[in-house]
Amino acid sequence: MSCKVLFIYPNQRSESLVPPAIAIFSSLLKRDGHSVELFDTSDYDLDADEYITFKNSQKNKVAVGNLLVRPYESKADSMRKHTSATGDLIKKVEKFKPDLVAVTSTESTFLLAVQLLRSIKKFNIPTILGGVFATFAPEVAIKYDVIDMVCVGEGENAITDLANKISAGDKYDDVTNLWVKTKNGNILKNGIINPVDVNNLELPDLSIFDDSRFYRPMYGKMYRMMPMETHRGCPYKCTFCNSPSQNVLYDNATTGKFFRKRSIDMVRKDLLYLRDVMKVEYVYFWADTFFAWSNKEFDEFCEMYKDFKLPFWCQTRVETVTHERIKKLKDIGLHMLAFGMEHGNEKFRADVIDRKYSNKSAVDALQIPHQYGVPFTVNNIIGFPGETRELAFDTIELNRQWQADQMSCSILQPYFGTPLRRLAVKNNYLDPNSICPANSDDTMLNLPDFSPDQMKGLRRTFAMYVKFPKKRWKDIERAEQLTYEGDKIWESLRQEYMSTYLNDSDTSIQEQGNFNPKNSDNNSSVGMGPSTSGSI
């Protein structure tokens, strides 16, 4: 007898790509004879009435207040779903009759996941939550009445063991990596086992996603785009990211290492599947630091990929960039590159963010891509613990020293599992019970020298400060003010900016058109879920 597993992907941004984790889990489950279906909220215009009902039932007003108000963002209007997300989920459950409901979420989509699960609670189906939030805040997630189990760490073994036990009618409270809520309310906390061999996984079952989910714009053209995992985890220790905590988690609990690189042979096997079966036109390489190869591995990848030459997007760090590497990748299909700069003050960046490189080296590195015709985007963050508005201007000044094709400015979200969250709680900048919202325009932090309104004002004018000449900075400063007059000035400057620096009038000036297929909530490569394969 097989187990029917319904995956729920509570995604609020239709620009994000499909998560490889769910596709891998589907393959593993089908390999064992189980049935799998998916409910994906990515293309829903999430309903205001559902939002209001849910908001009124929650204590975490700050987080929930920004949960469902993001408008539908896809420019492909034909993909929009106007029906109720919870209503459609109920219909899906009634038709499929699952034996298990598995949800993968980040912290920013967790409350949406709770809302969806609450709508089907009457069916009394066992539920499991996986992803970065489940991995780093299991004690928070398991308290919700709609969640029966959470997966701490990777989920490939957990989801298959769980489904096998359910189908056999066996007890499943001993499945590794799971916290299981018993009928009397006790929590059984099973241990974490060694990380999976990423070179011994099934091909991802991308067929469970609607075909429309594969079409995404990239630099002015629509492509059939799909993700592919090359690395799991990251060797670096940025404090806004929870990959370092994932490394520590596995170092302490297992004999294995969380950061792993897939073999070039396995990467080639996946690419053949994407090209020949899924008819991919553009590859998004799912890795926090794509250049985290040895020179030998890098050359092997280039030699292999020249047989495909599909355009691709990847992200890396400035320390990893060389002329030779950019030239080699450009010759085989590199279409766009993303860098995380995060902060422009060397000392602050080293002491608070644990990124130890000079501004000169960053400027030098970011002169290289354009020499080979490779456009690039630079991601920045403001609102770090201990930051001031004046310090944030060091980031603006540094961004003025290169000509990025796109840029983004985000306000820090102190996610569970990140060192910066622990620092914020320690310094009383953050309520320890807070759950970060989906809205990256806001902040959960109460910093003594950088107010929320200052952060929001600077975020919306960040690109203006970078691109406009300094003689315009007085006007831009007035546009930072979140007042009627400030909004009028900002709108006028926005129109000028768009007509001067951007071709697409629909592009957001705050992200300057930055398309982030990963949408990882800065929870890079942590556990299974939207950030990376590996967690439920």
527: Cβ contacts below 8 Å, ≥ 6 apart: 130, 131, 132, 134, 135, 136, 151, 153, 154, 155, 246, 534, 535
Nearest to 505 by CA among 513, 515, 514, 517: 513
pLDDT reported for residue 520: 43
Neighbours of 452 (CB within 10 A): 16
Tokens 């069916």 belong to residue: 123
pLDDT for 513 equals 37
CA angle 230, 234, 239 (to 5 degrees): 150
Contact of 158 with 175, CB cutoff 8 Å: yes
Identity at 329, one-letter amino acid code: L
Coil, helix or strand at residue 277: coil
Q: What angle do CA 306, 307, 311 make, to 5 degrees?
A: 65
DSSP 84-135: -HHHHHHHHHHHH--SEEEEE--GGGHHHHHHHHHHTGGG---EEEESHHHH
Q: Using CA atoms, how far apart are residues 289 and 428, in angstroms rounded to an integer? A: 32
The strand ranges marked E within 147-301 are 149-151, 178-181, 187-189, 215-218, 221-229, 231-232, 260-261, 282-286
- What is the SS3 assignment for 187? strand
Sort strands 376-382 and 334-342 into parallel, antiparallel or unpaired. Answer: parallel
Averages of pLDDT over each 10 residues, the chain, 536 residues: 95 77 96 97 67 44 34 44 88 98 94 96 98 96 97 97 97 97 93 96 94 88 94 94 92 95 96 97 94 95 95 96 97 96 96 96 97 96 97 98 94 95 96 84 91 96 97 97 97 95 56 42 32 43
Q: What is the pairing mode between strands 4-9 and 35-40?
A: parallel
Which letter, b or e, does each residue of 269-281 get, where b requires 16 or more Cβ atoms within 10 Å of its Cβ? Answer: ebbebbbeebebb
pTM score above 0.85: yes
Distance of alpha carbon 133 from alpha carbon 19, whole angstroms: 15
The DSSP call for residue 396 is H
Place of tokens 């294995």: 256
pLDDT at 507: 46
Q: According to DSSP H, which parts of 313-356 are helical?
A: 323-332, 346-352
Ranges of H-type helices in 238-315: 243-253, 264-276, 295-305
- Measured CA to CA, the distance from residue 213 to residue 408 in angstroms comes to 23
pLDDT of residue 239: 95
Encoding tokens for residue 53? 């009902």
* pLDDT at position 57: 45
**CA-to-CA distance for 124 and 269, rounded, in angstroms?**
40
The CA distance from 323 to 331, in Å, is 12
What is the pLDDT at residue 532?
Answer: 35
